[in-house]
Homo-oligomer: A and B are copies of this chain.
Amino acid sequence: MGITIKDVAKKAGVAPSTVSRVIADNPRISIETKKRVRKAMKELGYHPNINARNLVARSSQAIGVIMPSSADKALQNPFFPEVLRGIGSYAHETQYSLYVATGGNEEQALEEVKRMVNGNIVDGLILLYSRMHDPIQQFLTEKQFPYVIVGKPSELENEITYVDNDNVKASKDLTTHLIELGHEHIAFIGGSTELTVTIDRLIGYKAAILEANLPLPTEYMVHTEFLKSGGREAVAQLFQLEQPPTGLVVADDLMTLGVIHALEEAGISCPQDVSITSFNNLYLAEITTPPLTTVDIQIYQLGVQSARCLIEKTKNKEEPAKRIIIPYEIKYRKSTTAIKK
């Protein structure tokens, strides 16, 4: 089963190596033989065996994508298919294949990574999350295996290539927007503090608040599991306070959906009673009630650029670590409004 390079060679009346060179489009082969060989390939329906090629080339022309371990529901976030689409697009362009690992739990994820790396299945990896004390990162760093992070590394920031937004600034902008609308009581709802993205967005929020000389009670900074129970607890906590917030910075659109729902249940409506700002500009940010003022972080581009970086890196191992910052754009919609006096 399967036409090989030899069959083509025979049919075209040349040596196998010539066929190989034609495939590689080696300039030292005459145009005429190229034509003849290509014709033979067509007629026989030849397709190169990637495994054989990779075996000798010691590379796989494939990159791996590691999703966050799926114990939590975070994977249901449309963020992931969207980055994947970006990565896939660049991979396709450059003829790379795309492996994914959706580790059930942390341990399984590590196993998969080891399999991919040790088995020469992929030339490099993209991590779609960034956590502190991540055994996968440790493993890759030790092995000196090429990888890039979508998001910001929690440590060794200068030694790891990553693709990210300026989340601090974006968050600050968002908060400042609320301040400019007259809000003086602004709270922050974020995901796990283990995630660097949460931390950055928190920092930006704090910076804006402090700069404006507004109060910053610790009760205004709430962290909830990324999706679980839709931010209900967060809302409960915040709106029981003596001085409940009138503005909210929420770290993710999907979380915001939960927040809005919890608010409605509590009889608080957006934007009349509370203005909400959010992150990611998922498709659903436009079709919620109200549509969300949110940061478009260009998820697709995050994907494309991470793939680009990684592939560069696998081709040139000496490529220095770099950071790529993807610009963001705030989409102003109906979930924010000026404070009523």
Contacts and interface: CB of A to CB of B under 8 A. Distances in A.
User: What is the oligomeric copy number?
Assistant: 2
Interface residues of A, number: 64
B288 A257 contact: yes
Contacts of A258: 287
A89 interface: yes
Interface string A106-120: 001001101110111
B75 A76 contact: no
Contact of A78 (B60, B78, B230): B78
Given A261-B289, A284-B257, A284-B284, A100 B82 contact: no
A78 B227 CA distance: 13
A81 B75 contact: yes
Contact of A287 (B67, B115, B261): B261
B82 A76 contact: yes
Interface of A: 1-2, 47-52, 54-55, 58, 60, 62, 67, 70, 73, 75-78, 80-82, 84-85, 88-89, 92, 95, 97-104, 108, 111-112, 114-116, 118-121, 227, 230, 254, 257-258, 260-261, 264-265, 282-284, 286-289, 291
